[in-house]
Amino acid sequence: MRIDILTVVPELLDSPLNESILKRAQNVGLVEIHIHNLRDYTEDKHRRVDDYPFGGDAGMVIRVEPVFNAVNHLKSHREYDEIIYTSPDGEKYTQREANRLSTLKNIIILCGHYKGIDHRIREHLITKEISIGDYVLTGGELAAAVITDSIVRIVPGAIGDETSALTDSFQDGLLAPPVYTRPADFNGWKVPDILLSGNFAKIKKWQEDLSVERTRILRPDLLKE
Ligand code: ADE
């Protein structure tokens, strides 16, 4: 899988996408993540990618030209399954959408910009708009990092223990059960006896029951879905 991210602040994406599981997934060739500076795609001699909005509002707007050039350049090398724009206006991001995106071959993520991007980009180039929640970030880079992280970690082979992504919260529409590690007794704070019983069938049943119970208490909306 290949993910191309277009941004005016590439520095914001460096570290979150190059550590831990994402770093390993790239090193072993499971995914390619390419971060592109939109300023590299403008013919403006000062490398400016934004301009004043028509109508006289405050703030700056990303121009069509650099985005058009960047997307065309990428498309001339391969086909893209989805061209995503990160924006609070977009469809609310879910695990289900992360699962779907993880099955695609090539995607572009265009990071939003404080004031916005020329609307013609959204009309003519973007195939999907995604919001990571009902709050406003300074730009779309952190949203792009969230989306990329959630996709890459479920690409088969990205997580060492193949089964562990499948037991995540949300993967089956339920929250994950609690987990514990040694010591079994920390100053009187005890691990549930069942987990020390060695009876794996009973442990599994206990985990499933707690998943449902925790979902019912903490996120009853998930059960309705
Ligand atoms: N850009 C600014 N706020 C955002 C959000 N909530 N989701 C996605 N992109 C954004």
pLDDT tens-place string over residues 66-94 = 999 999 999 999 999 999 999 999 999 99
Atom of ligand 1 nearest to the CA of 138: 2
Per-residue pLDDT at 162: 58
Residue 176, pLDDT score: 94
CA 83 to centroid of ligand 1, rounded, Å = 16
Lowest-confidence region among 58-62, 116-120, 165-169, 172-176: 165-169
Rounded CA gap, 84 and 68, in Å? Answer: 14
Mutation pick for ligand 1 pocket among 114, 134, 137, 147 (CB with most ligand atoms within 8 Å): 137
For ligand 1, mutation pick of 89, 97, 113, 131 (most atoms within 8 Å of CB)? 131
- At 126-148, the pLDDT tens digits run 999 999 999 999 999 999 999 99
How remote is the CA of residue 179 from the centroid of ligand 1, in Å? 32
Encode pLDDT of 153-188 as tens digits: 999 999 876 567 767 778 788 999 999 999 999 999
- In ligand 1, which atom is closest to the CA atom of 87? 9
pLDDT of residue 163: 63
Q: For the chain, give the percent of residues with pLDDT over 70.
A: 98
Residue 7 Cα to ligand 1 midpoint, Å, equals 14
If you average pLDDT over each of 49-58, 76-85, 112-121, 162-171, which comes out highest? 76-85
C-alpha 137 – ligand 1 centre gap (Å): 5
Nearest CA to ligand 1 atom 4: 88
